[in-house]
Structure 1
Amino acid sequence: MIKYIIPIFFLLLSISAIAQQNIQGNVVDAATNQPIEGCSITLQPANIIAITDIRGRFSFKNKTKAGITVSVNCISYASQVLPIAALQAKNAISLAAKQVSLQDVTVVNNAGNQYKPISKTDIAMRGVNNSQEVLRIIPGIVIGQHQGGGKAEQIFLRGFDADHGTDFSEAVDGMPINMVSHAHGQGFADSHFIIPETIESVDFKKGPYTASKGDFCTTGFVDFNTKNALSSNVVKAELGMFNTYRALGMFNLLNKKAKEKQQSWYVASEYRYSDAYFDNPQHFKRFNLFTKYTGKLSAHTYLTVSATTFWSKWDASGQIPERAVDKGIIGFYGAIDPYEGGITYRTNANVQLVTTLNNGGLIKNQLYYSNYHFDLHTNFTFYLVDTVNGDEIRQKEDRDLVGYNGSYTHTGYVGNVKLATEAGINVRADLTHNTGLSHTVDRYTTLNQIKLGEISELSISPYLSETFSFNEHFSMNAGLRFDQFYHRYNNQLASDTTLPGIGVYKAQANTLSPKLNFYYHVNDRMQFYLTTGRGFHSNDTRAVVVTNGYEILPSAYGADFGTVVKPATNLLLNAAVWYIYLGQEFVYGGDGGDVSFNGKTKRVGFDFSGRYEPIKSLYIDVDVNYAHGRAIDEPKGANYIPLAPVWTSTGGITYTPKKGVNGSLRYRFVGNRPGNEDYSLTATGYFITDAVINYSTGKWEYGVVVNNVLNTKWKETQFDTETRLKGELAAVDEMCFTPGTPFCLKASVMYKF
């Protein structure tokens, strides 16, 4: 397969480099002097559009009659109109920040970025000011936490209970968050090492339609991009109910002269503590430290270096059976096993080098490294197996993760057809040490080892994406991705019943993922798109070596047909109908690693997002999502997909004047969904509201956050689990749950300087 792919790569790369682009420039932020990516530059009167790249650059094919002026538009910045002569001076276009308004948003002819107007507007208007909002900023996503903030959230999107990341890809600044062959679950994505206030933008797309994205990208992906520079220093303190407090500091480390040279270096850190609302205090502690340097090394080279260290420790109440609450054995916020909880830490180093070429091309080279530790104690079945000591388990691993991302992008012309090329390769190696599963009691005593070994997993993934813009209306994107996986498991446990003995077991597999997408841009108020593609999620190495690599990369086939439309200057809509087929889906019983459902599935549904600004500074957003999912090979009535969401919706009202009182009132809704294959058990839905009120004056801001304003008693996560309580003669199969937060108030004060 590779011998056919490589010649195609070089042929298309050669074609893309043919044309010259004579009208060019770059755009920077007036406050930080850093490049601005994603600005819309329009050449008038021909109405030809270009989008700035990661270095803030844009270019047009030389058409002397087509251009008299250029208009520069970017969400959250003041627009400018400049004569062509201004670009010939080769000075950067400097944009000043301004208050965001939907009136400034246009539907840009930028193939593959149909979600960009909504994501940029949401970030600018709503912001991301706490760890729970990191994922909730993505339209259509609902999350659930069943360790009170200690481990990765459970993710619901497009009718998938994606567990902790099995079918949803996450990255920050190009570095993957998902962990392959994780001790707790495949694709485990703990994003809590991201300090929310450092997030500059969020790129996301739904479905397996992007060539640069591979493993876990079946329902979609999200890329979090941290700030390259701070506009001001920040100190913030928070204090709330349930003995909750948080301290945050963000500081520039370079002076104004460095800013003039397009250099920036800052540090951010946070510490959080909470006992939470459970009867068994959580004693949750989290520490984050993040630093980032960006600098222009030369006229053509730009360096970014960042580092993170994260540490978290907590106790947990875990998932509790409904009957234990109904019988009064424990309260709604009680615990059966008080020894649940864990500790985790992760240290990251990330280096990116961006080089611009004379032909307008751009080369990215990125190296990243993570050192990771995870140690979790949970008890899902209580006394089902061991009626004396209980069924508490320990899942533990230490991991080194190293990777490389390289890409070349170029925009050129073949005749009058604009050709945007992206060719790249992703290389990733995971090495775990003493990955184990054991039976424990009281957290500290090991009764017996169930699994123990070391995992090595290597993936090499070249890809190519070509976007053809035939005119100002019609564009087509074709992509191809090849993923090669090498698995190695060093089994260190003779009693492991899945393998014939101690020793090294190997397997390998590969998959090819084509993409084909179409975009029709009617005008700056309407666009239609049809996106199609094949994706996949990988399986755990410990399972892969058992089958010798057979069927370890199950396919996901998807299609979206949608529109982005702006029917009025203050109204923005996005709607899509979609389909996805998955060759193999995992639903974990009790979240403990035992697969209770494993089969082919299909889903159809629709997504709707609306953004409305009835008056200046008042922002209304709503997302409504529906999914109909069924198992393919099961009879009707027994073909429900356990825990798959059907109806979900989020939305709110946000008021953000320049100063004075600002705030928001938000809701999230999840409808009832099947708890098991025949829907004899129900995962109960909920409707929760949260409120934020701030007062800004000069450099100070005072705020109050209220979670669950109506004090609704709700179940945040739910699982169909067979359990036995101490003293019970027989096991019971029923829904177990983790309670969601009750009414909780938190106050904050922030100072900028």
Structure 2
Amino acid sequence: MIKIVLSTVVLFTFTVIFVNAQALKGRVLDRASSPIIGAYIIHIASEHHAHTNESGYFVLPGVKDGDSLQVSHIGYEPQIIVVSNLSREVTVRMDETAIELGEVVFSQEVNPVNTLSRIDLKTNPVNTSQDILRKVPGLFIGQHAGGGKAEQIFLRGFDIDHGTDINITVDGMPVNMVSHAHGQGYSDLHFLIPETVERVDFDKGPYNADKGNFATAGYVNFQTKRGLDKSSVSVQGGSFNSVRTVGLFNLINDKKNNAYVAAEYLASDGPFESSQNFNRLNLMGRYGLTLEDGSDISLIASHFTSKWDASGQIPVRAVQSGQITNFGALDDTEGGYTSRTNIALNHTKLINDRLFIKNNAYYSTYDFELFSNFTFFLEDSVNGDQIRQRENRAIFGAESQLTYSNTFSGGEYALQVGVGLRNDDIRDNELAGTKNRDSVRFVTQRGDITESNYYSYVNFDLYLKKLRINPGVRVDYFNYLYQDDLTPEYDPQSLSAAVVSPKLNFIYTVNEDVQVFLKSGIGFHSNDTRLVLERPNNESILPRAFGADLGGNFKLWPRLIVNGALWYLRLEQEFVYVGDAGIVEASGRTARRGIDLGLRWQANKWIYFDGDFTYSYARSIDDPEGNNFIPLAPRITTTGGLSFEKDGFAGALRARYLQDRPANEDNSVVAEGYTVLDMNASYTFNAFTFGFFIENLLNTDWKETQFDTESRIRLANGNLEPSPVNEIHFTPGTPFNFRGFVKFTF
């Protein structure tokens, strides 16, 4: 399949590269040189139009020298340009202005989700790493290990753990870790500096051919800023001895070159009685170059390191008995260390008015060490049950994507072909029993893993007046290799498997105010290499997910936009590798269905309201009724907020609600829901901005993460419990947390 696709790419290249069509080629950027996606370019005389792609490029046929064009996009000042030299590519730079929902129009070429996510990002900027993922409507997170561990993710009736069923990338570089020491798909986003995020691209469901492994509940791709128009330095300080400083420094910003560096340092004791001693350092640099032939090249490099202590998940009974408080600990020796270094090279080029190519390559090194104690003295009544999970890995990957577009008498079409690979070389992937984070009591597993994923996909878009038909297919091939270091001989095990994932989507744009869609597709998530090798008959190695969405986007009033979807998702039988125990558990087939609703309303030029509601019904298919609940699957979630910006003043009041949900299969143990209210405000005067953030404004007592766990603890009198107890173990949510800040822009 890969050879066929590569041949197709070569054929297209030599067929169209010398085509000399009469069309204007150009690019639309903001003042910081970041591409503006979905900008609307209209030929004023004929009203023929085009839109910019994900790199800001556009092609507008039927243009001659002297013609006038209008360029517009929500949140930017519209421009009129006059074509002076059709043979040269034009670059348009746009100035930002206030968001105006009345300017939003639905079209076949532009994904409205991307437009709305940009509005959300501008009206409610991210200021913590946790805020980044919360930009996806209906996505909830939970932190339960001192701030340094990847967050637990909930979306569409899934307890996704740390990323098993959501595909997460940054500038095209994968965040999910396959065959990770802690859990499959582990996604630590803490290497991303929030202030560098330009755009959040996401979709729910397995409907995109260019998104592969883990894209079952959906995907999220974060795009960092290509450049800066100004530099800035900010300092934050507040509750729990928290300090955060961020610097963004513009080095170059001209028509051909862009470069900046960014740095972040964060330290905090946290709200726990035993200090988290948390600290994190992030460094990032990005350089962009536009060549005379229209090629655009970006080089991105970053380094991240973090270290922390944790109080872990504590049993309810220990709090209710008064042995500890909500913020106490039974084992405060938990914690960990992690680091990641990335380098990525992205290249795009508009070859001619029909052909666009995009290439990216990346290399990462990663270290991870985590100490946890979930059951205390259940397994070892003398030394305790602390475990250590660790690994170090190198990741290499590359992808090439070629898009060919053309018109015909009845409409337009675009054919997209992509090929790529990812290789993970993981050394000393280990699970061991430890005590006090130093002495090793036993080693359960240790080995070296090599996992390779080769893939290709074809995506076709057919535009027939108001109807867009989007079929696609993706083929993924995996090769697994594992050398068990606990065996006396060198005897690596290997296995290969493949999966085909077809997609078919329909988008019907009734008019500029109404758009409806029907999406369908098959996705998958891979399983841990060690599990795969235990299933030599390829049984559920690459379990598939079958999904469908029916919904629409509606502009009911000039400043009121509503979107919604009815959805269904079914997962095949799968076996899950549990990294905390080094064992395999069967989870069976599952089915989920639900409703997503979203609302965006602009009361006037400076007050903006947004709200999102989700309902999910999740059940195991093979288990009997009443014993088929999926633990921790969210049922009802609601998020919303009111934001404003006027005359230098800005602020927001935001709330999130998560309903009670089952913590075990028969719903006899319940994970408590919560409602949390956050607030922020700032004032900008000349080059200075002063402001504050408040998390948990009402000081709500809430449980951020909860698990139904069997454990045995040592009581206040020093004796062990006579027998184990099964109940909720939790990590408390942050209490009232105030942080003030000052920012200087220059």
Per the TM superposition, whether the score is higher than 0.5 is: yes
CA RMSD of aligned residues (A): 2.3
Whether contact under 8 Å (1:141, 1:155) holds in the other structure is yes
| Partner AA of 1:103 in structure 2 | G
Deviation at 1:681, TM superposition (A): 0.5
Distance 2:656 2:584 in 1: 29
**Is residue 507 from structure 1 mapped to residue 495 from structure 2 by the alignment?**
yes
In structure 1, which of residues 736, 743, 749 is the aligned counterpart of residue 742 of structure 2?
A: 749
- Matching of residues 281-300 of structure 1 within 5 Å: 281-300=275-294
Query: Could you tell me which residue of structure 1 aligns to residue 237 of structure 2?
Result: 239
In structure 2, which of residues 620, 625, 629 is the aligned counterpart of residue 640 of structure 1?
A: 629
Distance 2:142 2:297 in 1: 37
Query: Could you tell me which residue of structure 2 aligns to residue 486 of structure 1?
Result: 479
Tell me the SS of whatever aligns to 2:211. Answer: coil
Change in Cα spacing, 1:140 to 1:16, as seen in structure 2 (3 Å) is farther
Distance 2:8 2:93 in 1: 40
Deviation at 1:32, TM superposition (A): 3.3
**Is residue 708 from structure 1 mapped to residue 696 from structure 2 by the alignment?**
yes
Change in Cα spacing, 1:13 to 1:302, as seen in structure 2 (3 Å) is closer
Distance 1:229 1:368 in 2: 20
Change in Cα spacing, 1:528 to 1:486, as seen in structure 2 (3 Å) is same
Tell me the SS of whatever aligns to 1:599. Answer: coil
Change in Cα spacing, 1:514 to 1:201, as seen in structure 2 (3 Å) is same
| Partner AA of 1:610 in structure 2 | L
Which is worse superposed, 134-143 or 97-106? 97-106
Deviation at 1:426, TM superposition (A): 2.0
Change in Cα spacing, 1:722 to 1:46, as seen in structure 2 (3 Å) is farther
Whether contact under 8 Å (1:101, 1:617) holds in the other structure is no
In structure 1, which of residues 515, 540, 544 is the aligned counterpart of residue 528 of structure 2?
A: 540
**Is residue 52 from structure 1 mapped to residue 45 from structure 2 by the alignment?**
no
- Matching of residues 352-367 of structure 1 within 5 Å: 352-367=346-361
Query: Could you tell me which residue of structure 1 aligns to residue 654 of structure 2?
Result: 666
Which is worse superposed, 170-179 or 10-19? 10-19
Query: Could you tell me which residue of structure 1 aligns to residue 94 of structure 2?
Result: 95
Deviation at 1:148, TM superposition (A): 3.1
Whether contact under 8 Å (2:183, 2:579) holds in the other structure is no
Tell me the SS of whatever aligns to 1:253. Answer: strand
Tell me the SS of whatever aligns to 1:336. Answer: coil
Whether contact under 8 Å (1:75, 1:120) holds in the other structure is no
**Is residue 681 from structure 1 mapped to residue 676 from structure 2 by the alignment?**
no
Deviation at 1:516, TM superposition (A): 0.4
Change in Cα spacing, 1:86 to 1:666, as seen in structure 2 (3 Å) is farther
Deviation at 1:353, TM superposition (A): 1.9
Residue-by-residue CA offset, 1:617-639 (whole Å, 9 max, x unaligned): 11101000000011000110001
Query: Could you tell me which residue of structure 1 aligns to residue 606 of structure 2?
Result: 617
**Is residue 386 from structure 1 mapped to residue 380 from structure 2 by the alignment?**
yes
Whether contact under 8 Å (1:170, 1:177) holds in the other structure is yes
Change in Cα spacing, 1:203 to 1:701, as seen in structure 2 (3 Å) is same
Residue-by-residue CA offset, 1:361-382 (whole Å, 9 max, x unaligned): 1222211000000000000111
Residue-by-residue CA offset, 1:495-521 (whole Å, 9 max, x unaligned): 9xxxxx762111110000000000101
Query: Could you tell me which residue of structure 1 aligns to residue 227 of structure 2?
Result: 229
Distance 1:352 1:752 in 2: 29
Deviation at 1:602, TM superposition (A): 0.5
Query: Could you tell me which residue of structure 1 aligns to residue 370 of structure 2?
Result: 376
Tell me the SS of whatever aligns to 2:177. Answer: coil
**Is residue 599 from structure 1 mapped to residue 588 from structure 2 by the alignment?**
yes
**Is residue 608 from structure 1 mapped to residue 597 from structure 2 by the alignment?**
yes
TM-score of the pair, normalised by structure 2: 0.95
Distance 2:88 2:424 in 1: 49
Residue-by-residue CA offset, 1:319-375 (whole Å, 9 max, x unaligned): 111111111121111111111000000000101122221343122221100000000
Which is worse superposed, 546-555 or 643-652? 546-555
Distance 1:90 1:428 in 2: 34
Whether contact under 8 Å (1:560, 1:578) holds in the other structure is yes
| Partner AA of 1:438 in structure 2 | A
| Partner AA of 1:614 in structure 2 | A
Deviation at 1:90, TM superposition (A): 5.2
Whether contact under 8 Å (1:21, 1:412) holds in the other structure is no
In structure 2, which of residues 430, 442, 445 is the aligned counterpart of residue 448 of structure 1?
A: 442
In structure 2, which of residues 170, 181, 184 is the aligned counterpart of residue 183 of structure 1?
A: 181
| Partner AA of 2:418 in structure 1 | G
Whether contact under 8 Å (2:541, 2:574) holds in the other structure is no
Query: Could you tell me which residue of structure 2 aligns to residue 118 of structure 1?
Result: 116
Query: Could you tell me which residue of structure 2 aligns to residue 78 of structure 1?
Result: 77
Query: Could you tell me which residue of structure 1 aligns to residue 717 of structure 2?
Result: none
Distance 2:391 2:318 in 1: 32
| Partner AA of 1:444 in structure 2 | D
Query: Could you tell me which residue of structure 2 aligns to residue 531 of structure 1?
Result: 519
Distance 1:622 1:593 in 2: 41
- Matching of residues 186-197 of structure 1 within 5 Å: 186-197=184-195
- Matching of residues 259-298 of structure 1 within 5 Å: 259-298=253-292
| Partner AA of 2:601 in structure 1 | Y
Whether contact under 8 Å (2:501, 2:523) holds in the other structure is yes
- Matching of residues 296-335 of structure 1 within 5 Å: 296-335=290-329
Residue-by-residue CA offset, 1:209-261 (whole Å, 9 max, x unaligned): 0000000000110110000111110000000110100111111123xxxx333
Change in Cα spacing, 1:689 to 1:570, as seen in structure 2 (3 Å) is same
Tell me the SS of whatever aligns to 1:115. Answer: helix
Whether contact under 8 Å (2:181, 2:579) holds in the other structure is no
Change in Cα spacing, 1:55 to 1:535, as seen in structure 2 (3 Å) is closer
Deviation at 1:52, TM superposition (A): 0.9
Deviation at 1:19, TM superposition (A): 8.3
Tell me the SS of whatever aligns to 1:214. Answer: coil
Distance 2:95 2:86 in 1: 18
Query: Could you tell me which residue of structure 2 aligns to residue 498 of structure 1?
Result: none
Residue-by-residue CA offset, 1:420-443 (whole Å, 9 max, x unaligned): 121111200000111100000111
Query: Could you tell me which residue of structure 2 aligns to residue 735 of structure 1?
Result: 728
- Matching of residues 397-408 of structure 1 within 5 Å: 397-408=391-402
Deviation at 1:92, TM superposition (A): 2.6
Deviation at 1:104, TM superposition (A): 2.3
| Partner AA of 2:698 in structure 1 | L
In structure 1, which of residues 386, 396, 404 is the aligned counterpart of residue 390 of structure 2?
A: 396
Whether contact under 8 Å (2:595, 2:614) holds in the other structure is yes
Tell me the SS of whatever aligns to 1:132. Answer: helix
Distance 1:87 1:688 in 2: 56
Change in Cα spacing, 1:582 to 1:53, as seen in structure 2 (3 Å) is same
Whether contact under 8 Å (2:243, 2:266) holds in the other structure is yes
Whether contact under 8 Å (1:719, 1:737) holds in the other structure is yes
Whether contact under 8 Å (2:25, 2:88) holds in the other structure is no
Whether contact under 8 Å (1:143, 1:156) holds in the other structure is yes
Percent identity over paired residues:
42
Residue-by-residue CA offset, 1:39-86 (whole Å, 9 max, x unaligned): 12234576544221244321234389xx97543221321123456778
Query: Could you tell me which residue of structure 2 aligns to residue 153 of structure 1?
Result: 151
- Matching of residues 399-418 of structure 1 within 5 Å: 399-418=393-412
| Partner AA of 2:305 in structure 1 | W
Can you give the 5+ residue segments of structure 1 that lack an aligned partner in the other structure? 496-500
Change in Cα spacing, 1:14 to 1:621, as seen in structure 2 (3 Å) is farther
Change in Cα spacing, 1:240 to 1:586, as seen in structure 2 (3 Å) is farther
Distance 2:289 2:279 in 1: 34
Query: Could you tell me which residue of structure 1 aligns to residue 31 of structure 2?
Result: 31
Tell me the SS of whatever aligns to 2:492. Answer: strand
Residue-by-residue CA offset, 1:362-415 (whole Å, 9 max, x unaligned): 222211000000000000111111011111000000000011111111221244
Distance 1:617 1:53 in 2: 29
Can you give the 5+ residue segments of structure 2 that lack an aligned partner in the other structure? 715-719
Whether contact under 8 Å (1:19, 1:414) holds in the other structure is no
Distance 1:21 1:570 in 2: 40
| Partner AA of 2:460 in structure 1 | E
Distance 1:139 1:236 in 2: 28
Whether contact under 8 Å (1:585, 1:601) holds in the other structure is no
Change in Cα spacing, 1:358 to 1:578, as seen in structure 2 (3 Å) is same
**Is residue 214 from structure 1 mapped to residue 212 from structure 2 by the alignment?**
yes
